[in-house]
Structure formats: structure tokens, C-alpha cells
Amino acid sequence: MVTVRRWIPVVLLTPILLTAAHSASSPPVARQATDDAVLPSSSLPRPGFNAAARSAGKLYFGTATNNYQWNDTAYVAILDDLAMFGQLTPAKVMKWSYTEPERGVFTWEMGDQFVALAEQRGKLVRGHNCVWYNDLPAWVTNTTWTAPELAEVVQEHCFNIVRHWAGQMTRCAPVLTRICFSDSWDVINEPFNDDGTWRTTLWYNTLNTSYIPLALHAAHRADPHAKLYINEYNTTGPGPKASALKALVRALKAAGVPLHGVGVQAHEVVGQVPPLADVKRNLGEFAALGVEVAITELDVRFVGLPPDEEGLERQRRDFETVVRACREVEGCVGVTVWDWTDKYSWVPASFPGEGDACPFDVDLEPKPAYYGVLDGLQEETSSASRKYGAFQHIKLNHEVVRARYDAPAAQWRIRVRVHRPTDTHGNSASGALAEEEIDDVADVLVTVDGSVSRCWMPEIVGIGGFEGELHHSAKYVPKGKT
């Protein structure tokens, strides 16, 4: 009888290795594994959001973060992992009160620190933001402005902050592909009330709606290559605010104003996320206006704490709905969560008694919502992995580079390249993970995204009618296996 051992390629996430012990008579994937993986843990032994998003054809999966959080080494170990997050949004340090505390006096230090960290880690940055009604310094809010004076203030501020970071937030793929992603900026933040009327702010009260094209034109002059967005909450599904935003986009595009994207913030409440079909239709309608769409500030909060098991499952489905909608709408370029752990969520301070809004808990452990995000990005893979208990055996940053089947021992002898952090920020001085190679053994091996991950079927007589277990590998050598 012909016996062929070949590896099973599973399209999961970026370099991972999964190993699990099994008996000779049991199928390697059709039962839940009971033994731990034989390889040592990486800095993040879980599948990553960004790798899944890129696999699904999106530009990134990102998170908001604050500079002060980078003293938390456990937090940074996960934040730094490119498989988890490929884009960062500064939650605070690019806002007006941080960047221009006095008129004409710009303070770049914290924003520069943020951009430098992202650059060292190879991550995209989303500029946030130019014009908002909140986080304004006293010199802006305590002055009585004429319309021409305030118009000058808006344009000067937007021009200067976008120009300062122009080109610094662009990231390129490996040189052979010559693919680069431009800077993105939330130029206008939250211009509408929930009923679709204009929010009565200093900007609107003094300049009416003209502050919006003024700011966009100024930002475009500062960086003609940047993608300029209007960013708004309560626009995940159809409604008066979404309709008002669509009307604004149409008007600006018709007038030739440089607008390239709509940011759907997606600050949601558990159990109140619109149905998937409604979210997809809404995102598609934005994209049909000729702009990019991005989910920019996703979280799903509980209004009562602590959540029960049913509530956590509901939250998982809500995360899945929003993420899946973006995945299935071609014009939606990526998803950003408004921080990924409840430890640093903005919700409790803004909504007392509410919270637990993120995919990870305060101990940096994944909640059901974590799997909801993965299901939204790669439903079949992550659902099957959860069903068969595979997640607990997955190790990120491990790449199989050589393998040999030892028939007498009924084991695989493998060489694995392990990508390890070399400093407290999870990176070497050059910004790349250090590498080492180790030898190990495994009873069952599933590899992905390494040199042995592509299917290859050896030419063996009788293989077409063989009904036993098959494992395959691009590097498999059939000598001695017939």
C-alpha cells in the first residue's frame, strides 16, 4: 500500500507554527489537541489581526494608543507585533491642545515620538486630528474671533501640522513590490449632531460650514499626497447622521474640495450594532461617492458591568459584524480599534459605569470579542481553529525552514526559524526582530506562510486512489516513502 505523508497548508495568519501530539490512529485535525505545542512561545502566541486583514485584502488592522502606555512592556510586546497591528492612531498627541498650545507656537515632541515609534516598527500612522470642537487650547476658545480671523487660524493650524509630518507616515512594502501607502489624516472630526444637523461649535458658529473646505484645502496644500478624511461617530449603519455625512461628501466632491475618505468611528454599544446587511450597504454607499472608507475607532461597550457570558458572546458577534462588513465592502480599506485592551480604554472615564469595550481584557488576555474580530476577517479559518482548539497551540513568529519525516520514530524532525524581540519594545536596534534557528520534533505539523507552506503533490503511482491520511509540503522529498 502506498503511504504518503504530506503537510496540510492552512491559510491562517502570518508566520506561525502549530504542532500537536496525536495517536497514530487518530486524524490530526479532526479532534481537539490535548498536548501543548512543542515549540517555545513567541512574544505573542496568538493569531494577529493585521496579518488576517492583509490576507483578506485590506491595507491594515490598527489601534489607537497613547505615548504614556509605552512604559507598559507587556502592552508594548503586543502593540509592536506587526502580525497584530499594522497601523497606529495617536489618541491624543496630535490634537490641537498638544500641537499648538499657544498661537504660532508648535510643540512637536510627543507627536514626533509617536511617529518615530511607528516608523521603527514599520507601521502606518493615521494623523488625528486637525479640526475638532474638543481638546482646544484656551487661546482658541477664550478669544472672540471675526470670521476672517478664525478662518486664518484654521488654515494655519491644519497646514502646519500636516506639513510637519508630511511623508513621515508613509510606509512601503518590500522594494520589489514598490507599493507604498500614503499618510491619512482625520482633518475634520465630528461635525454633526446625531440627528444630522450641524454641531454648533466655535467653528460652525463663526464660519458656518466654510471651515470644512478651508481646512481640507490647507491640509492638501501641506501634503498633496495625504489621504484626507472626515471622521464621524454614529455612522456605522443608515441613519440621519450617515445621510448628512453622505450629503456633505457629495457637495465637497462636486465643488472640487480635496476629500479622499470617510472615517466611520464605530463606537458601539453591545446589542445595538446594526445588522450586517445594513452596515455593508451603508459603507458601500460611502464608497460609491468616490472616497475610501475606514473603520477608525472601533469599540463595543457594555452599559452595565460586569458582563455575563451571554453578553460577551453578543459583543463577539457585534465586533464580527463591523469587521466583516469592512472585509466584504471593497472600498473599506482597514479597521482601527480605539485601543485593544480594556486596561487603557477611554470608555469608563467618559461613560461612568460602562466599559469592557475592547477585544482584550485588563490583563491583556483575549475575550470572545478577539475571536469575533478574527471571524470577521477570516471566518472559516478562525471558526475552525476555535472549534478544534487550535488557537492554544499556535505560535507566532515561527517559520518552518526544513523538515524531514522520521518513519521509524513516526515523527517530523523540523528546523524552525524563530523571530525574537531583542529589547523591551520587542525589536532590535534596527527595528527588526532578531532571528535564531532551533531543531525540534512534532507528531503533527501544520505550517503556513513559510518556505514549506505551498502545496506540492509528488508524482507517485497510485496516489489518486489512496484513501489514507495525506500531508504535503513544497519541500517534501518522497524518497523512501513508497
Q: Which residues are known catalytic residues? A: 297
Give the phi and the psi of residue 209 in degrees, each rounded to 5: -85, 0
Q: What is the distance between the alpha carbons of residues 451 and 227, in angstroms, rounded to a whole number?
A: 36
Q: Which three cell numbers stand for residue 370?
A: 478577539
- Reported as type and span, the H/E element at residue 414 is strand 411-420
Cβ(99)–Cβ(161) under 8 Å?
Answer: yes
Asked if the bond preceding 306 is cis, omega within 30° of 0, the reply is yes
User: Number of C-alpha atoms within 13 angstroms, CB side, residue 482?
Assistant: 9
| Whether residue 129 has a cis bond before it, omega within 30° of 0 | yes
The C-alpha cell 516598527 sits at 121
HEC-encoded secondary structure of 41-103: CCCCCCCCHHHHHHHCCCCEEEEEECHHHHHCHHHHHHHCCCCCCCEEEECCCCCHHHHCCEC
Torsion region of 66: left, alpha or beta (phi above 0 gives left; psi -120 to 50 gives alpha): beta
pTM: 0.73
pLDDT score for 482: 36
Nearest Cα to Cα of residue 482 among 458, 465, 456, 460: 460
pLDDT in tens, the chain (482 residues): 222 333 333 323 333 333 333 333 332 322 222 233 332 233 334 578 999 999 898 999 999 999 999 999 999 999 999 999 999 999 999 999 999 999 999 999 999 999 999 988 889 999 999 999 999 999 999 999 999 999 999 999 999 999 999 988 765 544 333 344 567 999 999 999 999 999 999 999 999 999 999 999 999 999 999 999 999 999 999 999 999 999 999 999 999 999 999 999 999 999 999 999 999 999 999 999 999 999 999 999 999 999 999 999 999 999 999 999 999 999 999 999 999 999 999 999 999 999 999 999 999 999 999 999 999 998 655 555 666 666 566 665 666 778 888 888 888 888 888 766 544 444 433 444 567 888 888 877 654 443 333 344 445 566 556 666 555 444 344 444 33
Is residue 12 helix, strand or coil?
coil
C-alpha cell at 185: 489624516
Q: Which of 96, 97, 123, 99 is nearest to 111 (CA)?
A: 99
Give the per-residue pLDDT at 473. Answer: 43
pLDDT of 81 reads 92
* Per-residue confidence (pLDDT) for residue 425, from 0 to 100: 42
Q: What is the largest CA-CA distance in the chain?
A: 90
- What are 114's three cell numbers? 509617536
d(CA 446, CA 20): 9
CB 30 within 8 A of CB 23: no
| Residue 189, SS3 per DSSP | strand
- 463/469 Cα distance (integer angstroms): 11
The grid cell for 239 is 441613519
Dihedral through CA 460, CA 461, CA 466, CA 470, nearest 10? Answer: 0
* DSSP character string of 116-179: HHHHHHT-EEEEEEEE-SSS--HHHHTS---HHHHHHHHHHHHHHHHHHTTTTT-EE--TTT--
What are residue 400's DSSP bridge partners?
Answer: 416
All domains of the chain in start order, with CATH: 16-43+397-465 (no CATH), 49-387 (3.20.20.80)
Distances (CA, A) of 285 to 61, 277, 319, 325: 22, 12, 21, 12
What pLDDT, on the 0 to 100 scale, is given for residue 55? Answer: 86
pLDDT at 33: 27
